Structures are given as C-alpha cells and as structure tokens.
A = this chain, B = another copy of it.
Amino acid sequence: MAETVQKRITDIGPPHYEKFLPPIIKENYGKWKYHEIPRPGVIVHTSETGAKLYTVRAASPRLLSTTKIRKFAELAEKYSDGYLRFTSRHNVEFLLSDPAKIDPLIQELEAIGHPVGGTGNAISSMVHTQGWIHCHSSATDASGVVKSVMDELIDYFKTMKLPAKIRLALACCLNMCGAVHCSDIAILGIHTRPPKVNHELLPKVCEIPNVVASCPTAAIRPSTFQGKPSVEVDEEKCMYCANCYTVCPAMPLNNAETDGISIWVGGKVSNARSEPMFSKLAVPYLPNNPPRWPEVVQTVKKIVEVWAANAHKHERVGEWIERIGWPKFFKLTGIEFTKQHIDDFKHAGLTYKTSVHLTY
C-alpha cells in the first residue's frame, strides 16, 4: 500500500454520478416519457427520443460479501455493458439497452439465488437495519427476521397481484434506523424491561446530568450507590425507549428472555391519494424466536393476506383500514385489541374517537 501514504486526500466527496451512467441514460437524461412493467421485475422506460431502457430488478439481502459484489459486476458486464444500480430499498437493478438479454440475465440471477421482481403492486425488499450483526442496541436480529418473512412472502415479490404496493420494514430497536414509522407493515424490535443500572461502571463512563436528561418520562433520578454517585430508575415510569442506554453504556436494556418484536401497520410515505401516514400499533409483543421467528412471520403474512383479500385496487394498507375502520381491522385479522393499543403519550387525547362514525 505504498502509494496511499504519499499525499493525504480529504473532503473530495463521492465520485460524480455521471461516471456511472450508461450512454443511453446520458442521452435520454430528463427525457423519459413513460414506463411500463411488462413483467414482474422488469421496467421499461421509453424516452421522447424513442429510446428504451430495460431495467431488471433482483432481490438482495443488502448484506453482501465482496464475492457477491464481484458476481454482480460480472453480470453487469455480461448483460448491461457494465452498468447497474441499487435502489432505495436495496434491490439491485441492471440497466439493459438490449431487450434480448433480459431473459438470460433473469435466468442467471435466479440461478444464483437472487429472484427477480419487486415492481409494481408487489412486496419489495424490506428496508432493515443491523440487529445482532452489528449493533449494541438491538432488541432482535434484523437480517434473520427479514429472511424468514421474505421466504414466506416470496410469491408476492415475484408477482404483481396485490391491490397496491405494500412496504415492509424492520428496525431492531426504537431508534428506528429502518425508518419503520411510515411503513405499511413494520416490524420493530422492543425491550420490555427497564434498564439495569451498572452502578460500578456508571460514574466512570457517563455524565449523570445527561443520563437524567435523556429520559422522556423523567423516570431517571440522580442517586448514590455505596457512596458513589449514580442514578436510579422509577420502573413504573419507564417505557424502555433505551435513550438512556444510547447516552450511557452503563444502562443496558438488552434481555434475552423479554426482548421481542412489535408489529405496526398502515403507514405510508408517498403522497399518492392520501397524505403520508405513520404506522400504528397492531401487535404489542411477539417473542424473539430465532432462527425463523414463526410468530412474526405468520402475523405479517396474515395481515398481508387479509389486506389483499379486502382492499380496493390501489388502496395501501393504511388507506384500506381508514375506509373500513380499525374495529374491522382487528376483527378481520383476529388480532386482539388491548389497553396497550390506546395511546398514552403526549398527544394521546387526539387519538380518541370523537364522533359516532362507527361501523357495526
């Protein structure tokens, strides 16, 4: 690595994107006229100039070995003149100018275990996070849950028979790096017990005022433990957000027995038809059950299928529920409605039903 020490380069930013655009895109940049989706996973964009770009989209686990990256590079050279991209949901897209190459590319992708699909009214890849692979904060794994759910729902990835797009996402703790707060169906790792204060470590590694300030419910009070300054937690007030742990390693919440998963539904991001919406609580708690989290998989599947069977065309999950009403949602899915579904945070009062617009 001799050359690298020579002169130190900083603040150059990423390479300019133009370097990576295929000629057909450079020529038709901003000139695209319309698109079609002739089959799942294949999007054809037609330009004012008449030029056509064929995109083939394949599933990706997002966690890729350099081996696989080289494999993608090889496929790109073979089929799309070396050009490819990744999507905001982490799928890989090959950008073809020659339609003849679509079929062989798809065959090869399927052969190496990367199914093609995720377009149109389908389930696309799940936005997700690190989980046990890399994060200290996780209440569950990310990749394993995603793999288990998508194995079960693969048919909806490879076809376009759903009423609308349905976006699934997972975050392994309340920090919600997966931004699951606006997903049709969100899987959220949760702690269900207050932090266990490590009184030995705390004064050494944490600023007590910051720790106290970090708690949204004011559950943390300064205290002393065996003469040394520390904090104590009013467990009745704690709702396990782990914000204290984020600012102070001496307050771990991770708990093998009681960590688990909650399921959220009805969020969306697009402005299509309805305004963007937050996801709402559907199932407060399901156990962590690796390697395949059957309870989570079955719950998600059930929601997808009830929605698919009942929604009008183009109705996202949240739009469907708004039309039929939440009581119907719980009835149709068989999910139990509990006290925990009733908001009790800052704006709780605004979630109460202030009309007689009910269905019976």
Other A-B pairs, 8, CB within 8 Å; known A271-B357, A276-B354, A347-B350 = A271-B355, A271-B356, A275-B354, A275-B355, A275-B357, A276-B355, A347-B347, A350-B350
Q: Which of A234-292 contact B (CB under 8 A)?
A: 271, 275-276
Within 8 A of B (CB), among A122-159: none
Q: Mark A200-218, 1 if CB is under 8 A from B, else 0.
A: 0000000000000000000
Q: How far in angstroms is the closest Cβ of chain B from A271?
A: 5
Give the distance to chain B from A7, nearest Cβ to Cβ, in Å.
Answer: 46
* Chain B minimum-CB-distance residue to A350: B347
- Complex Cα distance A271/B353, Å? 12
Kindly report which residue of chain B lies nearest to residue A273, judged by CB atoms: B357
CB distance from A32 to the nearest CB of B (A): 21
In the complex, how many angstroms separate the beta carbon of A153 from the nearest chain B beta carbon?
29
Residues of B within 8 A of A271 (CB): 355-357
Question: How long is the Cα–Cα vector from A354 to B278 in the complex, in angstroms?
Answer: 11
Q: How far is the CB of A268 from chain B (nearest CB, A)?
A: 10
- What B residues does A354 contact at CB under 8 A? 275-276
Closest CB in chain B relative to A20 CB, distance in Å: 29
**Shortest CB distance A318–B (Å):** 13
Q: Which residues of B contact A347 (CB under 8 A)?
A: 347, 350
Closest residue of chain B to A357, judged by CB?
B275
CA distance A276 to B275 in the complex (A): 20
Encode contact with B along A329-356: 1 for CB under 8 Å, 0 otherwise: 0000000000000000001001000111
Whole-angstrom distance between the Cβ of A325 and the nearest chain B Cβ: 12
Among A350, A355, A356, the most chain B Cβ lie within 10 Å of the Cβ of A355
Taking CB atoms, residues of chain B closer than 8 Å to A276 are: 354-355
Residues of the B chain whose Cβ atoms lie less than 8 Å from the Cβ of A355: 271, 275-276
Q: How far is the CB of A159 from chain B (nearest CB, A)?
A: 30
A356 to chain B: which residues have CB within 8 Å? 271
Task: Name A358's closest neighbour in chain B (CB-CB).
Answer: B271
Closest Cβ of chain B to A290, distance in Å, is 37
Determine how close the nearest CB of chain B comes to the CB of A267; give it in whole angstroms.
Answer: 12
A284 CB → nearest B CB, Å: 23
A116 to chain B, nearest CB (A): 32
User: Once the chains are docked, how many angstroms separate the CA of A347 from the CA of B355?
Assistant: 20
A sample of 11 cross-chain residue pairs with beta-carbon separation below 8 angstroms, ordered by A number, consists of A271-B355, A271-B356, A271-B357, A275-B354, A275-B355, A275-B357, A276-B354, A276-B355, A347-B347, A347-B350, A350-B350
Q: How far is the CA of A275 from the CA of B355 in the complex (A)?
A: 6
Query: In whole angstroms, what is the CA distance A355 to B355 when docked?
Result: 25
A302-349, CB < 8 A from B: 347
> In angstroms, how far is the closest chain B Cβ from the Cβ of A320?
19
Tell me, rounded to whole Å, the shortest Cβ–Cβ distance linking A344 to chain B: 15
Top 9 closest A-B pairs, CB basis?
Answer: A275-B355, A271-B356, A347-B347, A275-B357, A271-B355, A276-B355, A271-B357, A347-B350, A276-B354
A166, chain B: closest CB distance, angstroms: 20
> Which A residues from 150 to 191 make CB contacts under 8 A with B?
none
* A216 vs chain B, min Cβ distance (A): 15
| Least CB separation from A276: chain B residue | B355
When distances are taken between beta carbons in the complex, the residues of chain B under 8 Å from A350 are 347, 350
User: A185 to nearest B CB, angstroms?
Assistant: 21
Query: How many angstroms from the CA of A355 to the CA of B357 in the assembled complex?
Result: 25
Q: Please, how many angstroms separate the alpha-carbon atoms of A275 and B275 in the complex?
A: 18
